């Protein structure tokens, strides 16, 4: 690959908060400042052979770093806008993010930054930078090195020696360093010894890239509950679903249904779903199983979803499906176009 004109520009490290930059406080770990000096000090502890492979970088922190459990679609929008604004000056971007909702932000960034022509690599850590044996150093090193790879032209997640597609990633462990997985899509890359390997055939660059076509709509109207997520349980009642979907503030919903795309056999429940679809709400379904896809209608028990006009989210993660509902509902589109785009892979999310 011929080096692109921006290859010699520094990587931008954007710090948004999360455990990686936290320090102990009276109420538990909390976001802390002075991130650039702390990052550089930590990276200085790498052996020279590894330090020499790091790209040049500059650091920018958001005004108020947060624990990512407080993030909303409004934060996703703000992050994408910052990246879009700064991208031209950098060869790539590393986003330092709390792990709890990292997968949601990564998915949302992928929809907002369609047609990326350079890497946006999201990472974080299960332990603070200064904690003994912390995973933070390895994760930052990995993210920086991937952010300097011009062949990587999409939003990805670098964590525990592996590179995952951002819109396919999930946090699957609450304690282990190896906290992220990509249940329905193979790794984009991984660390092998001291090498950082990319598998180009799996990357968007060779799949469905086009010209940059960032979509940065206003998420604020949806940030306060416009899209809901409902996980079915045995015994769920139509009135319970109606209580959520019937609210006029709700414009979209993600249902997590059984196995290959089934729901309880309850005509009233199907009626509630059909009513919501009929009112123009964007209602989609995924499986509660972490692996595999759904095919509503394969079993008679899934026919209700088809009849009610519920969209199949195929093998998408909950994070990717919900962030896509938010994104499409924020765009000025008519209902048919929204439904069509939901079923179309935009950034390798399905
Ligand atoms: N609660 C933290 C956060 O998401 C967890 C982490 O970063 O690992 O910000």
Average pLDDT per consecutive 10 residues, the chain (350 residues; last block may be shorter): 86 98 94 94 96 97 96 97 97 98 98 96 98 97 97 97 98 98 98 95 79 91 93 97 97 97 96 97 97 91 93 98 98 97 96
Q: Of all atoms in ligand 1, which is nearest to the CA of residue 69? A: 4
Please list the residues that pair with 287 across neighbouring strands. 257
**One of 16, 19, 123, 317 is an active-site residue; which one?**
19
- H-state helical runs in the chain: 35-43, 48-51, 73-86, 102-112, 136-147, 220-223, 238-245, 267-278, 303-307, 318-330, 335-343
| DSSP 8-state secondary structure symbol assigned to residue 205 | G
What is the distance between the alpha carbons of residues 241 and 321, in angstroms, rounded to a whole number?
19
- The predicted pLDDT at position 1 comes to 72
100 lines ligand 1 (CB under 6 A): yes
Task: State in Å: Cα 125 to ligand 1 middle.
Answer: 8
pLDDT in the model for residue 224: 87
Reported for 191-195, long-range contacts at CB under 8 A and 24+ positions apart, including other chains, are 191/142, 191/161, 191/162, 194/49, 194/50, 194/53
Beta bridge partners of 58: 12
Whether residue 19 lies in the annotated active site: yes
Q: Are 130 and 159 in contact (CB under 8 A)?
A: no
pLDDT for res 209? 67
């Amino acid at each position: 690959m011929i080096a692109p004109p921006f290859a010699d520009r520094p990587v931008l490290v954007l710090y948004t908060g999360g455990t990686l930059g936290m320090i102990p406080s009276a109420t538990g770990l909390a976001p802390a400042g002075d991130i650039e000096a702390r990052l550089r000090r930590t990276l200085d502890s790498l052996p020279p052979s590894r330090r020499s492979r790091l790209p040049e970088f500059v650091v920018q922190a958001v005004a108020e770093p947060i624990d990512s459990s407080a993030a909303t679609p409004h934060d996703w929008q703000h992050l994408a806008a910052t990246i879009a604004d700064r991208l031209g000056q950098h060869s790539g971007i590393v986003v330092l993010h709390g792990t709890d909702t990292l997968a949601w932000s990564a998915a949302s960034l992928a929809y907002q930054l369609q047609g990326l022509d350079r890497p946006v690599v999201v990472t974080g850590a299960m332990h603070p930078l200064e904690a003994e044996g912390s995973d933070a150093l390895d994760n930052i090193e990995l993210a920086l090195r991937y952010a300097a790879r011009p062949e990587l032209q999409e939003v990805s997640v670098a964590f525990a020696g592996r590179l995952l597609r951002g819109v396919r990633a999930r946090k699957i462990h609450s304690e282990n360093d190896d906290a992220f997985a990509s249940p329905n899509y193979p790794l984009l890359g991984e660390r092998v010894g001291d090498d950082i390997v990319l598998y180009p055939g799996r990357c968007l660059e060779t799949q469905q890239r086009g010209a940059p076509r960032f979509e940065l709509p206003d998420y604020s109207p949806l940030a306060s509950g416009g899209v809901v997520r409902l996980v079915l349980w045995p015994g769920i009642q139509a009135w319970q679903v109606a209580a959520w979907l019937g609210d006029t503030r709700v414009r979209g919903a993600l249902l997590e249904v059984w196995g290959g795309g089934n729901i309880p056999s309850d005509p009233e429940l199907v009626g509630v779903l059909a009513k919501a679809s009929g009112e123009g709400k964007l209602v989609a379904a995924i499986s509660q199983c972490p692996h595999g896809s759904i095919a509503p209608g394969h079993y008679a028990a899934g026919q209700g979803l088809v009849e009610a006009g519920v969209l199949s989210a195929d093998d998408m993660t909950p994070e990717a499906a919900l962030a896509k509902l938010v994104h499409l509902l924020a765009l000025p589109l008519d209902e048919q176009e929204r439904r069509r785009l939901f079923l179309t892979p935009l950034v390798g999310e399905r």
